[in-house]
Homo-oligomer: A and B are copies of this chain.
Amino acid sequence: MKYYDPQTLSFLLSDVHHLDELLKSERYAAYDKASIDLLLDAVKDFSDTALFPYIQEMDEKPSVFKNGRVHVHEQFGPILKKAGEMGLVSAAMNEEGGGLQMPMLVVNALYFIMEAANNHVTGYLGLTAGAANVILTFGSEALKQKYVPNMLSMQWGGTMCLTEPQAGSSLSDITASAKPLDNGSYSIKGQKIFISASDHQFADNFIHLVLARIEGAPAGTKGISLFVVPQYHVNDDGSKGEYNHVDVVGEFVKLGQRGYCTNHLSFGDGGESAGYLIGDANHGLSYMFQLMNEARIATGRMGTGIASAAYYASLEYAKERPQGRKLQSSGKKDPTAEQTLIINHPDVKRMLLHQKATVEGCLSLVLQCSYYLDKYATTSSAEKNKYHQLTEILNPVAKTYPSEAGKDAVDTGLQILGGYGYMMDFILQQYLRDIRIISIYEGTTGIQSLDLLGRKVTMNKGEALQLLAKEMENTILAAMEKEELKGYAITLGESSQLIQSCLGHLVPFAMKGNHEKYLADATLFMDLFSTIVIGWQWLKMGLAALNQSDETFKAGKLNTLDYFFKYEMSRCKGLQKTICSDSEVTINMGEEMF
C-alpha cells in the first residue's frame, strides 16, 4: 500500500525547498523540524487508515442525488470530522483568524499525501479552507465571526460558485443577480453549475461564495461582486436558522472522482436567497482570485497526487509480474529459461521512469510555488514583489503541467499492466478517469495558457519572467560546477533561450494589435515553458541529490533527471519550431472546412 514516497517528500521539503530556512522566520515560530515530521507522520497514518482503503469503494459507490440532497460515501463522515479535528482546514490560515499558520510548503505536502491516498477527499477540505480564507481576508468582522469557525472544524462546508450554464469559462458573462434588500443584504438569484462539494449529509450547512451582479453594475468582469450565501441562515447565537433557498437541483455524473460530488445549484428560486457582500461591490472577481489561485495550485497538486498513486500501483505490478525474457546476444530468446519480471524490460523501465519523472517533477514545482508563497508571507516588503511575481507566473504552470503530464503518466502506468490495466478490478483505470478532470477544473489548459502568455509573461514589462529566468540561472550556475550535472545545465540554459526566441517571434504581433496570432499557440507555449520549468526543478533535485548519503536514492534521482532530459527536454526544440512557424492554419481554417 504505497501511494507516495515519504523519503522523496522529505528530500523535497528539506533538501530542495529549504524548509529549515522557512522555519527560522517568526511567522512559523510555532514549528520546528520535529513537529513537522510528526505532522507528516500523522497525516500519513490518517491517509493509510482512513483514506486509501476507501478510494475504490468511493468510485464504485459514488455520491448520489436523491430528493434534493446529495449523499456521499459513509466514510466521509469520519474523514471530514477527523480532518477538522486535525486542523487540516485551518492549517494555512493566520493564527489571528483561528488558523495554525503552517508554511504552505508543509500544507501542500500534507494535502499531497492525502490526495495520493484518495483524491476524492481533499476537495471538500480545500474548498472549505479556501472559502473561509476569502472571508477572513476580505470579509467584515461580522461575517468572519459568524461563518468561519464552523468551517474550520468542517461542521460546515464551503464552496466557490462561479460557473453558469451559459458562461462556462467566460466569467464576464455571468448573470446571477443580486438585488439590495433593506437590511443591507442582497437577494441572490441565478443558476450555478459544476459546483463541487456543495452538498452532502455530513455538514449542517454550506457557505457558498457566489459571484453575482448587483443590479445596474457594469457589463463584464468589472460588474461582478462576491457574496456569502449560506444554505441555511445562521442565527446570531450561531445556531442554524431558516432555509436560505439554495437548492441542489441536480448532480453531475462524472467519468471519475465520483466520490467527490459536483452539483447544480439554484439560488432564490423557491424563496429568497439572502447574500452578504464581501468587501466592495464590483470587486468580487479580484477577491475570488485569491481562492482561484489557491485552487489552481491545489488542482495541480491533486493531479500530482493521483499520478503518484498510479506510479506506485504500476511499479508494484511491474515488480511482481513475470513475462517474456531478456534478449540474448544472438538477438534470440531462450524459451526454456525462466521468465523475467517485466520491470527488467527497458520499455517498461522507460514507462516507469516517465511516471516517476512526472510525479516528482510536478511535486517539486508545487512545492517551489509553496516556498515562494511562504517567502512572500515572511519577507520584508521590498522582497515581497519578487515572490509575488514568481508566484503569479508559476501559478498557471503549476495548474497545467501536472494535469497534462500527470494524465499522460497515469495513461502510461495503465499501459504497463497490459490487458489488466483496462480491467475494472485494477485501479489504474480509475486513476485515469479521476485525473482526466484536472486539466478542466479551475480553468482549462487553454485558459491557463492564455493567462501565462497573454498576461503573466508580459505583465510589468516582463518582470516576472525575468525574475524566473534569474532563479533558473542560479540553478544552472550551481549545476555547472558539478561534473555530473554540467551537461544538463547547458541543455537547460539552451532550452530556456527557446522561450525568448518564441517571444521574439510572437510579441511583435501583439504590438501590431494582432492578438489572435500572438495567442493562437498559447497552449504550445505553455507546453514548452512548463517543460523547461520542470527541467529546472529536476536540475535542482539533481543538485540536492548529490549530497545524499543513500546511494540508491541518489542514483534513482540522477537517473530520473537523466530520463527527463533525454526524453522530455528533447521535445522543446520542436515546440519552438511550431510556435515560430509562419503557418496560421488555426486562424485560417474556416468552420465549413472541418
The interface residues of chain B lying within 8 Å CB-to-CB of A593 are 552-553, 555-556, 559
Q: Let me know if A255 is at the binding interface, CB within 8 A.
A: yes
The interface residues of chain B lying within 8 Å CB-to-CB of A328 are 515
Contact assessment for B432 and A594 in the assembled complex, using a CB-CB cutoff below 8 Å: no
Contact assessment for B323 and A167 in the assembled complex, using a CB-CB cutoff below 8 Å: yes
Contact assessment for B255 and A424 in the assembled complex, using a CB-CB cutoff below 8 Å: yes
Q: From known contacts A336-B219, A586-B353, infer whether A422 and B446 are also in contact, taking CB-CB under 8 Å.
A: no
Q: Let me know if A588 is at the binding interface, CB within 8 A.
A: yes
CB 8 Å contact bits of A310-322 with B (1 = contact, 0 = none): 0000010001011
Closest 10 CB pairs of A and B: A220-B335, A329-B513, A556-B593, A346-B520, A327-B515, A346-B586, A350-B586, A255-B429, A253-B424, A570-B574
Q: In the complex, A591→B348 CA distance in Å?
A: 11
Contact assessment for A578 and B556 in the assembled complex, using a CB-CB cutoff below 8 Å: no
Nearest-Cβ distance from residue A159 to partner chain B, whole angstroms: 15
| Band of interface residues on A | 35 or more
Contact assessment for A169 and B324 in the assembled complex, using a CB-CB cutoff below 8 Å: yes
Nearest-Cβ distance from residue A252 to partner chain B, whole angstroms: 5
Between A and B, 16 residue pairs with Cβ closer than 8 Å are A169-B324, A169-B418, A170-B324, A172-B333, A173-B335, A253-B424, A254-B424, A327-B515, A347-B523, A347-B586, A411-B436, A552-B593, A559-B585, A559-B589, A562-B585, A573-B573
Chain A residues numbered 327-377 whose CB sits less than 8 Å from any CB in chain B:
327-331, 333, 335-336, 339, 341, 343-350, 352-353, 356
Task: Tell me the nearest residue of chain B to A587, going by C-beta.
Answer: B346
Contact assessment for B253 and A425 in the assembled complex, using a CB-CB cutoff below 8 Å: yes
Task: Tell me the nearest residue of chain B to A582, going by C-beta.
Answer: B566
The interface residues of chain B lying within 8 Å CB-to-CB of A414 are 436
Q: Could you say which of A272-280, A299-307, A437-445, A467-475 contacts chain B?
A: A437-445
Q: In the complex, A315→B492 CA distance in Å?
A: 39
In this complex, the member of A327, A341, A449, A572 whose beta carbon has the largest number of chain B beta carbons within 10 angstroms is A327
Q: In the complex, A168→B417 CA distance in Å?
A: 10
The interface residues of chain B lying within 8 Å CB-to-CB of A422 are 254-256, 436-437, 440
Contact assessment for B350 and A523 in the assembled complex, using a CB-CB cutoff below 8 Å: yes
The interface residues of chain B lying within 8 Å CB-to-CB of A592 are 552
The interface residues of chain B lying within 8 Å CB-to-CB of A343 are 591, 594
Q: In the complex, A559→B252 CA distance in Å?
A: 37
Nearest-Cβ distance from residue A47 to partner chain B, whole angstroms: 21
Copies of this protein chain in the complex = 2
The interface residues of chain B lying within 8 Å CB-to-CB of A184 are none
Q: Let me know if A194 is at the binding interface, CB within 8 A.
A: yes
Q: Let me know if A567 is at the binding interface, CB within 8 A.
A: yes
Q: In the complex, A172→B327 CA distance in Å?
A: 14
Nearest-Cβ distance from residue A221 to partner chain B, whole angstroms: 7
Chain A residues numbered 514-546 whose CB sits less than 8 Å from any CB in chain B:
514-516, 519-524
A335 touches which of B219, B429, B433 (Cβ 8 Å) = B219
The interface residues of chain B lying within 8 Å CB-to-CB of A440 are 415, 418-419, 421-422
Q: Secondary structure of the A side of the interface?
A: helix
Q: Let me know if A547 is at the binding interface, CB within 8 A.
A: no
Contact assessment for A335 and B221 in the assembled complex, using a CB-CB cutoff below 8 Å: yes
In this complex, the member of A329, A347, A352, A353 whose beta carbon has the largest number of chain B beta carbons within 10 angstroms is A347
The interface residues of chain B lying within 8 Å CB-to-CB of A411 are 407, 436
The interface residues of chain B lying within 8 Å CB-to-CB of A566 are 578, 581, 583, 585
Given A253-B425, A563-B586, A574-B574, list of 11 further CB < 8 A pairs? Answer: A169-B418, A170-B324, A170-B325, A331-B515, A345-B446, A347-B586, A415-B444, A422-B437, A422-B440, A556-B593, A573-B577
Contact assessment for A194 and B516 in the assembled complex, using a CB-CB cutoff below 8 Å: no
Task: Tell me the nearest residue of chain B to A446, going by C-beta.
Answer: B347
Q: From known contacts A415-B439, A437-B422, infer whether A353 and B571 are also in contact, taking CB-CB under 8 Å.
A: no
Q: Let me know if A308 is at the binding interface, CB within 8 A.
A: no
Task: Tell me the nearest residue of chain B to A577, going by C-beta.
Answer: B570
Q: Let me know if A144 is at the binding interface, CB within 8 A.
A: no
Q: In the complex, A530→B193 CA distance in Å?
A: 42
Contact assessment for B349 and A587 in the assembled complex, using a CB-CB cutoff below 8 Å: yes
